[in-house]
Amino acid sequence: IREKETISGYKLDSKLRQINITGDEKTITLPLYNEPIEKAIKVIKKDDNENLLRDTEFTLFKKENSSLIKVSSKTTNYYGEVNFNNLSIGQYVLRETKATNGFRPYSKDIEIDLTKQVSPVYTVTLNNYKVEENIPSTGTKGATLFLASGLGIIMLAYLLKKKRIYA
């Protein structure tokens, strides 16, 4: 006997098995086990110049009905990659949870459907952009002038008070 097809998400067991029927047996039970198909998601993180970014954290969630179940959180390596391995067939959500220093995080969740994925590895490439911050300047000329004027008024008041005491 040989298995001809299996349910979605499981490997076909094409091994040929021999069955011996003796006597008046009407029912024969043959326990078989199909291994689940395992998938992987590979994330590649780059900047807008195609340079690889390390130290970006991603969290992977599995969709179960209307809720998200956290699978794991991982950080990109020196090569800007992170791998989520040994995943069962199903639907997942990938979220960037911490951007590389100096970069804006990717703001959208990425939905991944591994039920229709033929390849064992689903690859996602994301680009980040540098943070452009305008830092307000402090200690401007106006503040310095204001401070000098205030000190001048205090010195003048002190000198006038000192002149009255000795007059």
10-residue block means of pLDDT along the chain (167 residues)? 79 82 75 82 92 94 94 96 93 94 90 84 89 63 75 84 67
The pLDDT, as a whole number, for residue 141 is 65
Name the nearest CA neighbour of 106 among 123, 127, 121, 90: 127
Name the nearest CA neighbour of 80 among 125, 131, 129: 125
With tokens 């690889």, the residue in question is 52
The pLDDT, as a whole number, for residue 136 is 58
Name the nearest CA neighbour of 83 among 129, 127, 124: 124
Name the nearest CA neighbour of 35 among 9, 15, 14: 9
The pLDDT, as a whole number, for residue 134 is 60
The pLDDT, as a whole number, for residue 64 is 92
The pLDDT, as a whole number, for residue 139 is 56
10 pairs with which residues across the strands? 36
Name the nearest CA neighbour of 88 among 123, 39, 35: 39
